[in-house]
Amino acid sequence: MGSPICIAGPCVMESYSLMEEVAQELVRLKELYQVEIFFKSSFDKANRTSVYSFRGPGLEKGLTWLSDVKAKYGLSLLTDIHESYQAVPVGEVVDVIQIPAFLCRQTDLLVAAARTGKIVNIKKAQFLSGLDMQYPVEKIKEAGGQHIWLTERGNMYGYNNLVVDFRNIADMKRFTSTVIMDCTHSVQRPGAAGGKTGGNREFVPAMALAAKAFGATGYFFEVHPYPDNALSDGPNMLYLNQLESVLKTVL
């Protein structure tokens, strides 16, 4: 097996300057370790806990920022969509279209993503097993999609908690050769921080190592230079300056 894929970036596009700061570090790591790195950030977080939470700059500005990052830094791009109409404009900019976990059974969304011809990364829902991902994969293939990734991000475990069954990685490899471990969303505490999501970023390195043992072919890390001040997912995001040490453990 070759070098694993790395997906990294801030949860949401807070500003273009933040995206540049992260992109500069990703380029350094990509060149230093000769690893394939995809820059990830969301233009709209449509599934925030509270209606008052920051959602992002929106589709138009977000795609402009992503285009600029790609032109300036040469990084491959990944972002998520929440509605079918977003697939075409997003597919004109990014290399990978991501389907959020809660939406992985939405047929129209999957079909729209598949028809762009881009790689489609489907995040496994918190309420599904790895074997259940057979059916979202079938929807992509029936719509003509040729390149499919699957991502493990944990399952609901009672209220405000997740647990990872690492057997899901092996199970999902029955359907695609590329299975990603989302090392940061898997340590979330959904809705557990008073109207927003909490988390335990200290477990991120262990999540990556455990996933490696189970055969993961890629790793997803949301990173931020100052995660405690981040506008989304701060408690589970990794400090940007810690990404290198974690990445080294899985290379």
CA distance 224 to 9: 7
CA distance 232 to 14: 9
What was the pLDDT predicted at 197? 61
Instruction: Kindly report, residue by residue over 176-216, the tens digit of the pLDDT.
Output: 999 999 999 888 776 544 554 667 788 999 999 999 999 99
Instruction: Kindly report, residue by residue over 132-177, the tens digit of the pLDDT.
Output: 999 999 999 999 999 999 999 999 887 778 899 999 999 999 999 9
Tell me the mean pLDDT in the region 12-24: 98
CA distance 163 to 75: 32
What was the pLDDT predicted at 224? 97
Residue 219 confidence (pLDDT) above 80: yes
What percentage of the chain carries pLDDT values higher than 90?
80
Please choose, from the candidates 148, 88, 144, 150, the residue with its C-alpha nearest in 3D space to the C-alpha of residue 119.
148
Mean pLDDT for the chain overall: 93
Domains of the chain with CATH codes: 5-250 (3.20.20.70)
CA distance 244 to 30: 10
